[in-house]
Every structure is written in C-alpha cells, then in structure tokens.
Structure 1
Amino acid sequence: MAELQPDPVLWAARGIGAVAGAAVSLIYLLPKSRHEAASRFLTGTVCGLVFGGPTGVWAVERLGIAGRVSSAEVLLTGSAAASLMAWWALGAALRISRRYGQK
C-alpha cells in the first residue's frame, strides 16, 4: 500500500499557491461586498487546495517542462491557477444566473 504521509513542503506550496490565486482573483476583479469577497476567497482557496495537484500536472505536461520543475513548483503553480480559475467559473455562473434568473 502506498505511503499516506503528506510532505509538509508540498502542502505549504499547495497552500501558498491557493491563497495567492484567491488573492489575485480578488484584486483582478474587485468584489461588491464583504460577503462576496469572503466567499470568493474561501472558494478559491479550497479549489486551489483540492485541484492544485492535477492542474499543475496538466499544465506542466502541456508546456512540456515536466523534467525541469520540482514537485513544489508544480503544486504552487497548479494551486494558484486552480484557485484563480475557480472564481472565473463561479463568477460567470453567477452573472448568467442573475441575467436570466427570476426578474
């Protein structure tokens, strides 16, 4: 059976990337309220933590740099990208629902 003990350095890289991506999403498109800012930040951070690994691996393979970057760099960039993209997906869904929702 595989070892299930996580590496603290990799978790730190994943967390830093997730928080950085969430912060950039707040700066890039300013929220309208504190509630929106908190929900966007929390959603971005969680998505970065959960989907950072697969997103980083996908990006590294797409760019063809798999042998040139460390595991921590893969997780850092993947978490930041997943965190940033989480808001764009949720923001688009929110704006569409507001436009075509009940008036």
Structure 2
Amino acid sequence: MNDAIWLWWAKMGGAAAGSAISLAYVLPVERREAGIRFGVGLASGLVFGGTVGLKIAVELGVEEHLGPYELVLMGSAAASLCAWWALGVVMRAFKANGRNRSGTDEA
C-alpha cells in the first residue's frame, strides 16, 4: 500500500480510539447521544488529525522524533477526544430542564 492509504488508516484508527477512550470519561445517556458523539469524534479526527498532531508535537518539542503516522494517529485521537467532550457538554447544556422527549423527569 502507498503512504496515503496508511495515513488514512492512521487517521481512522486515531479517531476511533479517541472516541472509544472518551466513553470512559463521559458516558452517554442514550444510544442516540452515543452515536452522534461517536460520529462527530470520527469526523473531527479525520479532518483535524494531521494539524492537531503537528501542533501537539511542536508544543511538546518532539516533532523530530515522530514519524508522519504517529503524528496523524496522535492528532486524530486528540481531536476526536476533544470533540467528543465538547459535544457531550453542549448536548447536556441544551437539554430542556432535565426532561427527556417524553416529558418525564429523569432520575
């Protein structure tokens, strides 16, 4: 396989890993929320993975020690993790007074 395909695999793996790791910190309330947050995590990891990985490596001063696959994998996981958290906070902040769609109070 050529390098572009390997970079895409690294992006997808990092994005999926970031979304999966996030489950340990902020559990989704329902399956719909989990699906939306996982999708947003994957999309943000694929889109911003390279840029975030490079920024993290530069800030830590390790860019010369990491190859392109490690940078993309690290960046995709970080971007996915951050997007997952942000979307979870936004979804809970805009929830209507602790009531779900059926109009009953949540425990």
TM range (shorter): 0.7 to 0.9
For 1:27, what is the secondary structure of its paired residue?
A: coil
The Cα offsets for residues 18-61 of structure 1, whole Å up to 9 and x where unpaired, read as 00001111232111111111111111011100011110010000
Q: What CA RMSD, in Å, does the superposition of the two structures yield over aligned residues?
A: 1.8
Structure 1 ranges of 4+ moved more than 3 A: none
Structure 1: gaps of 5 or more residues: none
Q: State yes or no: 1:89 paired with 2:86.
A: yes
The alignment of Structure 1 onto Structure 2 pairs a total of residues equal to: 96
TM-score norm. by structure 2 comes to 0.82
> Whose Rg is larger?
2
Q: Alignment identity in percent?
A: 46
